[in-house]
Structure 1
Amino acid sequence: MSMGDGVPGLFYLQKMYWAVIGSAIAAGTVINVLNRFLARQRLRDSSLTPSKPKSIFFGTYATLTAVVREASYATLPPLSIRGHTYHFAPLGPLAIILANLIVVLVFCFYELDTADQWKWEDIGYRTGFIAICQLPLIFLLAGRQNLIGILVGMSYERLNWYHRWIARTLWLTATIHMCFWFRDWGRYDYILYELKHYTLATRGFAAWCILTFIVITSAAPIRRFGYEFFVLQHLVTFVGFIAAVWLHAPAEVKVWVWIPIGFLVFDRVARYLCATYANLSIFHRSKNPTHALWANRATFTPLPGNVTRIAIENPGVRWKPGQHVFLTCHSIVPLQSHPFTISSIPEDNSLVMYVRAEKGGTRRFFRYASKHHQVLGGNDTAPAKPARTVFVEGPYGCMRPLQQFDSVILLAGGMGATFTVPCLRDIVARWRTENTQGQSSKLTRLAATKRIRFVWVIKSRTQLSWFENQLQSVLTDVQECQLANPDIIREIEMSIYITCDEKLEPAQSTLCAQASQFPPQPATLPEEKPVEKVSEKATTEEKDNTSVNSSGQSGCRPNGGCCCTASIEDEEDITETKCTCSGHAAPQSTDIKPAPELDTKPALPISRPHDLMILSGRPHARTIIRKVLEKAEGESAVVVCGPRGLSDDVRRSVVSLSDERAVHKGTGAQGIYLHVEQFGW
């Protein structure tokens, strides 16, 4: 359709828009391929610094990467209004969304005069054509089997954030399209007449109303209010929107409706095929020879803190650390599927998930586990119920392999350890395998990592019981590797911070604030002497002193403040424990059978490198990261999973340290890769 001399045609602009989108995807694909090649090269490098660039090309690439990272990782400070804190997305994703918005607006108004009333109809046509050509991108970003994600190396849950903002850009374009038609009709007071008698206008207005409803109900507060309801209404309204757009669009542009429908069909077919393979035992006879039809059966175990441990022995899926699956158990929670992080590693031959009971399906899981399973640590001798049939979809999730980095820093808050613990165990398992097999006959190493720093911030000492055995096993494995190969650097440092942080685990009452009537307890850090020389009586007393009661008020100050909320600037400056607060125990709901608390080990001497260091207070992320980076001889990785406050703090620390080290100025300092794990923004 021609709009005059020098004015691009409507179909040409649609092609130009997808040329821009295709170029961006192609650039992301090239970067993804290059990063994969770099990871392979590092594992094949036999030098002492495999994670350090050794050529002009990769040195230049590292410098450019550092510049982009500093800009994209940065985030605006959170905004507090009337007690509510609002967090902002990093500048990198915001820049991509802003760039897309600018491209769309330029294409909408290029060479058209908005002040000329005779051009309003042309603008209406132009914006309509630009709006409808955005539909395929929205559907591409929405699928779990995501083609864009495969190309650029991003998981679907991260792309879903872009899906929502591209949809909002589509709504803005459709609104401009409608307003200019209304403006054109309004000159003759013809708007209501057109909506009543012009079928094309009626269908278009209906499509805009449905899209407006979708955009409003996709806001974060509404999604969190009832996610199951949101998913159901989202699917229903989406069908209505597509039908209305198809009826409204002219025949020559209906292809832009059929393309997203094709993407949706591909996503569903691919998901159903993968789920069929993962859940039918006919494909996994060697793993589950006794199962008649379904391959995956799970046991449900209650843990302290209203947490359910779900374990699937010999699952029909293969996964990597940091991935998650969608779990369905119709016999307990019918017609619901929930995403849960995989907290085990493939070497365990068991797919384990830790699920906190909050509401809906997760609450039912814990209620079933508490009622029908022997409670962990309890004296109930009743036989456990048989495993239940479950269905898994996935795994999903993607990040750069951590074993390629010189140093890895893992920070978690509360349930965020379900993500970082398997990452930690995977690297140590690679160290152990290398130590067992040796390097003489291997062309590639299993891990280039030399140092690991693990930090876990928890609210209650009872939470430590979830992973205490795994963490102690990791320390033992690292010590064995160091003894077997003292010439190879294998260092690990762990810290457990216990803090009364309501954001880590929502409490039903502020227990520390109610503790003014309780006197503070004395410090209980044992003297710095070998553990084997400590008498059994002394060990028992220490354990009793550091155990947590149901209200967890042992470490609270008389004035009502909680001493474990203090920030610890530097762990090396701590010579004694000034606070014994263990954080209050996890709140137990009145309608859920609580699991009994477990006794936990006392805080061990800080000077012993292979002990699990337990501290009362809040970590100082910048100091922790800086100390590791000072020893790094190659690119480092920082992984954080937890509350938004912790994630933002780590982001700012990484950006500040990268700028301080002047990686982008050619100082020779190595870069920092940051991965923030959270389900959407």
Structure 2
Amino acid sequence: MLALRLLPFVAAGFLLLPQNVWADPTYNSSELCAQTCYTAIAAVTFSDYSKTDTYVGESCHSTLSVSSIYACFDTYCTQYTAAESFAYTNNYCTEYGLSPLSMSYEEGEEYIEAHYGSAANVTVIDPRLVLTANETVIPVEAYFALARDTLAIWQHQEYVHHSFGWSMYVLAVGVILVGVSNRIFAFVVHRTMTRSGPLADVERTKGGKPVVPNRDFFTRIHNLWTKHITLPATFGYRHSQPWAFCTIPTRLQSILVFVYVALNFIFCAVDYHAFEGNTYWTKPASQLSRYVADRTGIISYANLPLLWLFAGRNDLLLWLTGWSFSTFNVFHRYVARVATAEAIAHSVGYTAFSYITYEGWSDYKESLKEQYYATGIGATVLMSVLIGLSMQPIRRYCYEFFLVTHITFSIAIIVLLFYHTKIFDGDYNGYLWPCVGFWVFDRIIRLIRIVMLNWRVFYSNDDRLKRNKATAVYDPEGDIIRLTVRPSMNFCVGAGIHYYIYTPTLSFMFWENHPFTLSAWRNIPVAAGAEAGAGEGEVEEIQQIRHQPASGGTETSTDSREGSIISKAGVSAPVSSSSQQELVFIIRPYKGMTKGLKNQLLKAPGHQKDLVVLLEGPYGTKADLASYERTLMISGGSGVTGITSYLCEHGAHASGRYTRFVWAAREESFVSDVLEKDLAPFVDRDDVALDFYLTRPGSQSSSGGKKSGVEATIAKLSARAGSGNGPRVTYRKPNVAELLDYEIGQLLSRESRLAVVVCGPDGLADDVRREVVRSIGVKIDASRIELYEESFGW
């Protein structure tokens, strides 16, 4: 899969190599002098201009014009030779006038000598006063100096525009290096602490709280860095919870975003030079508006490849930095906002330039008829609208609408931008083709993933073992959908990963897909005759295996509904010599696709239905909980789906490892269903503690010795029900601070490390983050505690 992630970078490299992103090649001092003569003479209209020639071609091909250029060169550029000076001018004439200067320097000298004797005898004029001529002329020295300053400043502005544009990639590399360095630093500190041996005896204060022993310099730095930079929310408490219409990044993300936004603003605001008498645009206001428009447009273009790169699902940067897809989505959103703001500034700048330079709207109205002008306005408008359609409430509550508009508008914007800069003969396509490359290759890799996992869906044989089998069951009491899918091939699955699920038969939007966390996985034993097309009843052999306690080694149980053996021993542990994976997703229906699926299941017999489902994945990185002696798993509501996979991977009893599973939910039927079907193997484990918090108002413990709901389910499954070391049910919200303090107390007393995994409502995730931040440096070192937030942001 690493090779697949590298493909977009390789493709972008090949796309960038042949592209020239400079609007004009730079020229040296001798070429500047020659080009100044061309620019000064071009202000004059000569009588021998050809009516069929181009605007540039007139100055390049007129005998009077070319001889005037050489006479000017002989007058003001005596320190240079013609051989070293006219290469740029000839290239300029060839590119924009279709052919070089009509006479060579030697031929021009002969013409001047034949008609005037020498350049000293040629008439000197001021092009600001004399607009037409029927003879060879030389511009006055003052006008030549203005033309030279105009070209020098224009060349400098072009250099600065593109340098600041390319600096976006240097800045992006710097951001990636911060992520890589942060990952390496944490790894080094962890390895140092591991090699330092066990902790010394922990002193305790009068309040019984553990005191962190003195640490070395790197550990203190790591504590400060984690506590104040990498882990906390930007301002106090909110991170997962939105503020108004925005989501709040972590502090490190905000610092990086601030640097990026600030540098973009600075790059767009500095190093402009305007002066009276500029031969291109005489008014300083015209010059400034033009330079600002060019600068913001070029930097906006330069930001586009980053915008597309950070949006991809298949990204090597995720692996390099250890950051999540949600983190890069934060960068994606801010790059989009900055690029859009620069596009708006670009459009406003050109509008102001047109109005100031031509003293009215006449030129602007004429420009609207030009393709490049209209497509530029269209791209800016679409970018602005797309920013509004990507606000957090729309992403959250109208995801399908957001997805369709995002894709269609993005494609339209790129097409419009190609037409917008078409007049530059591809000079700016070097900024656009990488966007196309990143997008196309990401789609190709996604298609490869889909084909690998779902190719049997298109197999003509109706034998279900040669097709993807997907079954959805809806539980009205718990309001959950349990979706089981058997992919076309066995893949290396694990905890903490997610898949994008397509349901092409549910609606006309067959491309619609949503991310769902893998809740559990099973290995279905397949008899030898399955591949030969044996009947369904002959293929699966249901084996009843009695539940064993934790100390009994590898534990298995049976799902009698599906006739499948559920393996809890590990990710890829086979149950037979030939087996097929079954992936389990627990889905809480809300709106859109999940609501449509719920409505279909309500109409189906037994609320169960076989579906055509396509999987894309797996994506995400799992938390390596095997390196922690203690794990605190906190989930809320349907967030339990992100936690059960870790229990599934936990497997049999592992010496020295202890897991505390905390789940807060409102619906008892939901808890009972998951408890009975997914958590049953863990109810009597010595190394797993199950704590259930029922938060619906009015929920209370059973009275009179008659148990119901979750308590009744526990009594049925557990031999320890009601005892101090059995599963517990509490009728209130969990106190996160108490839970964490208790686990830290156990951690320090056992000289072990703690992993905190949270998946649930935004408020719960922020509560856990806040308490972990508070504990670092006060109760525990950052190297001995790690927060894993199982969430997906887009």
- Whether these two folds match at TM > 0.5 is yes
- The correspondence for 1:647, drawn from 754, 758, 765, is 765
- The correspondence for 2:163, drawn from 12, 17, 21, is 12
- 1:189 aligned partner: 360
Aligned-residue offset at 1:362: 1.4
* CA distance in 2: counterparts of 1:42 and 1:345, whole angstroms: 36
- The correspondence for 2:587, drawn from 332, 355, 367, is 355
Amino acid paired to 1:107: F
Amino acid paired to 1:461: E
CA deviation profile, 1:455-506 (whole Å, cap 9, x unmatched): 1110021111232133342243x32xxxxxxxxxxx44331111127xxxxx
* CA distance in 2: counterparts of 1:394 and 1:164, whole angstroms: 23
CA deviation profile, 1:659-678 (whole Å, cap 9, x unmatched): 53374xxxxx7543222233
- Asked if 2 retains the 8 angstrom alpha-carbon contact of 1:301 and 1:370, the reply is no
* CA distance in 2: counterparts of 1:393 and 1:137, whole angstroms: 24
Question: Matches of residues 622-661 of structure 1 in structure 2 within 5 Å?
Answer: 622-632=737-747, 633-661=751-779
Question: Matches of residues 513-552 of structure 1 in structure 2 within 5 Å?
Answer: 524=702, 541-543=705-707, 546-547=708-709
* CA distance in 1: counterparts of 2:428 and 2:683, whole angstroms: 62
Question: Greater CA deviation, 298-307 or 629-638?
Answer: 629-638
The verdict on how the C-alpha distance between 1:196 and 1:313 changes in structure 2, with shifts beyond 3 A counting, is closer
- Asked if 2 retains the 8 angstrom alpha-carbon contact of 1:472 and 1:612, the reply is no
* CA distance in 2: counterparts of 1:341 and 1:184, whole angstroms: 53
Secondary structure of the corresponding residue to residue 134 of structure 1? helix
List alignment gaps of at least 5 residues for structure 1. 376-383, 436-448, 480-490, 502-511, 513-519, 526-537, 549-581, 583-597, 664-668
- Over aligned residues, Cα RMSD in angstroms? 4.0
1:88 aligns with 2:248: yes
Secondary structure of the corresponding residue to residue 438 of structure 2? helix
* CA distance in 1: counterparts of 2:330 and 2:696, whole angstroms: 31
Amino acid paired to 1:365: L
The verdict on how the C-alpha distance between 1:70 and 1:165 changes in structure 2, with shifts beyond 3 A counting, is closer
Amino acid paired to 2:482: R
* CA distance in 2: counterparts of 1:69 and 1:401, whole angstroms: 23
* CA distance in 1: counterparts of 2:457 and 2:666, whole angstroms: 44
1:305 aligns with 2:305: no
Aligned-residue offset at 1:86: 7.6
Amino acid paired to 1:308: I
1:499 aligns with 2:679: no
- Asked if 2 retains the 8 angstrom alpha-carbon contact of 1:74 and 1:651, the reply is no
- Asked if 1 retains the 8 angstrom alpha-carbon contact of 2:659 and 2:689, the reply is yes
- The correspondence for 1:459, drawn from 666, 672, 686, is 666
- Asked if 2 retains the 8 angstrom alpha-carbon contact of 1:499 and 1:617, the reply is yes
- The correspondence for 1:276, drawn from 446, 451, 454, is 451
Aligned-residue offset at 1:405: 2.7
The verdict on how the C-alpha distance between 1:462 and 1:245 changes in structure 2, with shifts beyond 3 A counting, is same
* CA distance in 2: counterparts of 1:655 and 1:129, whole angstroms: 41
The verdict on how the C-alpha distance between 1:165 and 1:196 changes in structure 2, with shifts beyond 3 A counting, is same
Aligned residues, how many?
549
Aligned-residue offset at 1:130: 0.7
Aligned-residue offset at 1:370: 4.1
- Asked if 1 retains the 8 angstrom alpha-carbon contact of 2:503 and 2:614, the reply is yes
CA deviation profile, 1:181-237 (whole Å, cap 9, x unmatched): 223233222373354244433221111001111111111222334322221222211
The verdict on how the C-alpha distance between 1:643 and 1:20 changes in structure 2, with shifts beyond 3 A counting, is same
Aligned-residue offset at 1:394: 0.5
- 1:126 aligned partner: 295
- 1:364 aligned partner: 596
Secondary structure of the corresponding residue to residue 643 of structure 2? helix
Aligned-residue offset at 1:642: 1.3
The verdict on how the C-alpha distance between 1:77 and 1:38 changes in structure 2, with shifts beyond 3 A counting, is closer
- The correspondence for 2:347, drawn from 159, 178, 182, is 178
- The correspondence for 2:657, drawn from 450, 459, 482, is 450
Amino acid paired to 1:617: R
Question: Greater CA deviation, 177-186 or 162-171?
Answer: 177-186
- Asked if 1 retains the 8 angstrom alpha-carbon contact of 2:744 and 2:780, the reply is no
The verdict on how the C-alpha distance between 1:3 and 1:127 changes in structure 2, with shifts beyond 3 A counting, is farther
Secondary structure of the corresponding residue to residue 482 of structure 2? strand
Amino acid paired to 2:174: S
Secondary structure of the corresponding residue to residue 111 of structure 1? coil
Secondary structure of the corresponding residue to residue 674 of structure 1? strand
- Asked if 1 retains the 8 angstrom alpha-carbon contact of 2:162 and 2:299, the reply is no
CA deviation profile, 1:116-135 (whole Å, cap 9, x unmatched): 62323112111111110001
- 1:405 aligned partner: 628
- Asked if 1 retains the 8 angstrom alpha-carbon contact of 2:469 and 2:611, the reply is yes
- The correspondence for 1:200, drawn from 352, 359, 372, is 372
- Asked if 1 retains the 8 angstrom alpha-carbon contact of 2:630 and 2:658, the reply is yes
Question: Greater CA deviation, 261-270 or 61-70?
Answer: 61-70
* CA distance in 2: counterparts of 1:104 and 1:314, whole angstroms: 46
- The correspondence for 2:267, drawn from 97, 104, 107, is 107
The verdict on how the C-alpha distance between 1:86 and 1:390 changes in structure 2, with shifts beyond 3 A counting, is closer
Question: Matches of residues 583-598 of structure 1 in structure 2 within 5 Å?
Answer: none
* CA distance in 2: counterparts of 1:215 and 1:301, whole angstroms: 38
The verdict on how the C-alpha distance between 1:289 and 1:237 changes in structure 2, with shifts beyond 3 A counting, is closer
- 1:338 aligned partner: 514
1:468 aligns with 2:675: yes
The verdict on how the C-alpha distance between 1:58 and 1:399 changes in structure 2, with shifts beyond 3 A counting, is farther
List alignment gaps of at least 5 residues for structure 2. 1-23, 25-151, 200-211, 276-283, 523-566, 569-580
* CA distance in 2: counterparts of 1:243 and 1:194, whole angstroms: 23
- The correspondence for 2:335, drawn from 149, 158, 166, is 166
* CA distance in 2: counterparts of 1:678 and 1:276, whole angstroms: 26
- The correspondence for 2:790, drawn from 659, 677, 680, is 677
Aligned-residue offset at 1:281: 4.0
- Asked if 2 retains the 8 angstrom alpha-carbon contact of 1:310 and 1:352, the reply is yes
* CA distance in 2: counterparts of 1:400 and 1:35, whole angstroms: 15
* CA distance in 1: counterparts of 2:613 and 2:216, whole angstroms: 52
- Asked if 2 retains the 8 angstrom alpha-carbon contact of 1:280 and 1:293, the reply is no
Secondary structure of the corresponding residue to residue 280 of structure 1? helix
1:619 aligns with 2:734: yes
Amino acid paired to 1:660: V
Amino acid paired to 2:485: I
- Asked if 2 retains the 8 angstrom alpha-carbon contact of 1:70 and 1:658, the reply is no
- Asked if 2 retains the 8 angstrom alpha-carbon contact of 1:78 and 1:85, the reply is no
CA deviation profile, 1:101-148 (whole Å, cap 9, x unmatched): 012112222323799623231121111111100011111111111232
* CA distance in 2: counterparts of 1:199 and 1:24, whole angstroms: 37
- Asked if 1 retains the 8 angstrom alpha-carbon contact of 2:354 and 2:364, the reply is no
- The correspondence for 2:388, drawn from 213, 216, 222, is 216
* CA distance in 2: counterparts of 1:352 and 1:237, whole angstroms: 35
Aligned-residue offset at 1:171: 0.8
- Asked if 2 retains the 8 angstrom alpha-carbon contact of 1:132 and 1:256, the reply is yes
Amino acid paired to 1:241: I
Secondary structure of the corresponding residue to residue 319 of structure 1? coil
- Asked if 2 retains the 8 angstrom alpha-carbon contact of 1:66 and 1:672, the reply is no
Amino acid paired to 2:789: V
* CA distance in 2: counterparts of 1:36 and 1:374, whole angstroms: 51
* CA distance in 2: counterparts of 1:455 and 1:114, whole angstroms: 66
1:388 aligns with 2:388: no
Max radius of gyration: which structure?
2
Amino acid paired to 1:15: W
Secondary structure of the corresponding residue to residue 679 of structure 2? helix
Amino acid paired to 1:171: T
The verdict on how the C-alpha distance between 1:5 and 1:144 changes in structure 2, with shifts beyond 3 A counting, is closer
- Asked if 1 retains the 8 angstrom alpha-carbon contact of 2:518 and 2:585, the reply is yes
* CA distance in 1: counterparts of 2:407 and 2:398, whole angstroms: 15
The verdict on how the C-alpha distance between 1:259 and 1:85 changes in structure 2, with shifts beyond 3 A counting, is closer
- 1:554 aligned partner: none
- Asked if 2 retains the 8 angstrom alpha-carbon contact of 1:321 and 1:345, the reply is no
The verdict on how the C-alpha distance between 1:644 and 1:255 changes in structure 2, with shifts beyond 3 A counting, is same
- Asked if 2 retains the 8 angstrom alpha-carbon contact of 1:281 and 1:291, the reply is no
* CA distance in 1: counterparts of 2:274 and 2:331, whole angstroms: 29
* CA distance in 2: counterparts of 1:613 and 1:271, whole angstroms: 43
